[in-house]
Chain A
Amino acid sequence: MRAYLAFTKKEFIENLRTYKLLILLAVFLLFGVMSPLVAKLVPEIMQNLGIGGIKITLPEATAMDSWVQFFKNVGQIGLLVLAVVFAGIMSNEFSRGTLVNVLTKGLKRHTVIFSKLTAAALIWTMSYLLCLAVTYGYTVYFWDMGELQHVFLAFFSMWLFGLLLVVLLILGGTLFKTFIGSLLLAGGAVVAMTLLNISPKIQKYNPVTLCGDNTALLTGVKNASDFVPAVIICIALVVVLTTVSVVVFDRKQI
């Protein structure tokens, strides 16, 4: 336990000194401000455009538009930035050989994986909550929030998908020992899940639903029962993939 805490602390300091924490917080803060801004601007821009004399009138923006933008930004570019920032989480240690010393001194190998997962997950949680809080603040200020359905599930799903991405990056890093390998495994998994999503039967169980259909859940178009199976599978995947990473890392030559 002491080793775990010490290594987790080391991870935090590393993330701070390599500017990763700063980048993630800044980027997600940016998305937090941008989502309501875009929601507010789009109808006005469209109105002033008037392509070929046709006047386009869009309904006034609502709080829901702000949340649509939020899920679009975080679910696409946000997750991409998260993946790029954490893609080196394992490969950096391999390429610099910094793990050799601590492991020969008796640090358990699984501690390394758990510590890295904890640090990355905490940083992701912080960035996500920051983004959520800022968007919430602007949305409440500018619009009437109205009735939102399944609020917790909608926001929790997105967070869970981010966590799955972090786990995939760690697994990719332990398997291939490279930055690109990590990124390709996570990217490949997301692409595979997106392709599987074409079949409507699988959608309910597919973790990729968690970062795509959140607004349908907020408006009540989709029910909690459409999301819960995917949530359970996603949690199961997180646990299984972490275990696989630990097993693979135990046998890896450093």
Chain B
Amino acid sequence: MEIIRQYLPFLIPLIVIELGLTVAALIHIFTHKTYRKGNRVLWVVLSFVQIIGPVLYFVIGRSDE
């Protein structure tokens, strides 16, 4: 517990950013039907792969419509 408290100033921003990216990707995935590459299941799974998953979705998977 003591150790966790010590690292809290790091952990909170880390969790907020990572969750934020994942949630942003998920919202976009579920509000759009078509993707440039891949399908919904793939992107939902990938958006939980931290950092690189949501980035890949927004760069490659997100369709323009």
Contacts and interface: CB of A to CB of B under 8 A. Distances in A.
Interface of A: 18-20, 22-23, 26-27, 29-30, 33-34, 36-37, 40-41, 77, 81, 84-85, 87-88, 96, 138, 141
Interface of B: 7, 9-10, 13-14, 17-18, 20-21, 24, 28, 51-52, 54-56, 58-59, 62, 64
Contacts of A20: 58-59
Nearest to A92: B64
Contacts of A26: 17, 20-21
A62 to B, nearest CB: 17
A27 B51 contact: yes
A29 B7 CA distance: 17
B59 A30 contact: no
Contact of B62 (A18, A27, A33, A96): A18
A96 B64 contact: yes
Contacts of B24: 19, 22
B55 A84 contact: yes
A222 B18 CA distance: 36
A93 to B, nearest CB: 12
B52 to A, nearest CB: 8
A96 B14 CA distance: 36
Given A19-B62, A23-B59, A88-B59, A30 B10 contact: no
A242 B56 CA distance: 27
Contact of B7 (A22, A37, A81, A88): A37
Contacts of A141: 9
Given A19-B62, A22-B24, A29 B17 contact: yes
Closest 8 CB pairs of A and B: A37-B10, A19-B58, A33-B13, A30-B17, A23-B55, A33-B14, A26-B17, A26-B21
Given A23-B54, A26-B17, 5 more contacts: A19-B28, A23-B55, A27-B55, A84-B55, A84-B59
Contact of A85 (B9, B17, B20, B55): B55
